């Protein structure tokens, strides 16, 4: 089950949607290029085409991508009540968050 980086597909004059071949998409939107993360079935397990422009990412690449988003648009530290604080997360906090997300996202798939 590869984690992928993809963009929305145009489905009408003013409408976009997650491509049908993306499973559980819409994660970690990058404001600089409008890409998001999702996953697809492994190539050996599917009988349909996925465009060559779709990028597969391993844990390290996902972490690097999320750190890149954070460097341009810092993630706030969340308070105990679940609301953002005035402080920004550290690189270590973002790295841990990204690695935890990846592990959780791919577990059981």
Average pLDDT over residues 4-17: 94
Give the pTM: 0.88
Average pLDDT of the chain, as a whole number: 94
Beta bridge partners of 6: 36
Of the candidates 108, 106, 109, 69, the one whose C-alpha atom is nearest the C-alpha of residue 91 is: 69
CA angle at 30 for the pair 52 and 78, rounded to the nearest 5°: 140
Helices (H), 1-109: 59-72, 91-106
In angstroms, the CA 33 to CA 67 distance is 15
Average pLDDT over residues 15-32: 95
């Amino acid at each position: 089950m590869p984690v992928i980086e993809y963009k929305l597909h145009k489905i009408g004059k003013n409408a976009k949607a997650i491509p049908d071949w993306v499973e559980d998409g819409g994660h970690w939107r990058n404001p600089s290029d409008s890409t998001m993360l999702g996953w697809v079935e492994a190539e050996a397990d599917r009988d349909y085409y996925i465009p060559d422009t779709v990028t597969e990412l391993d844990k390290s690449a996902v972490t690097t991508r999320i750190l890149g988003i954070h460097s341009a648009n810092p993630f706030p530290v969340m308070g105990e009540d679940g609301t953002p604080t005035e402080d920004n997360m550290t690189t270590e906090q973002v790295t841990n968050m990204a690695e935890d997300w990846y592990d959780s996202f791919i577990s059981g798939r």
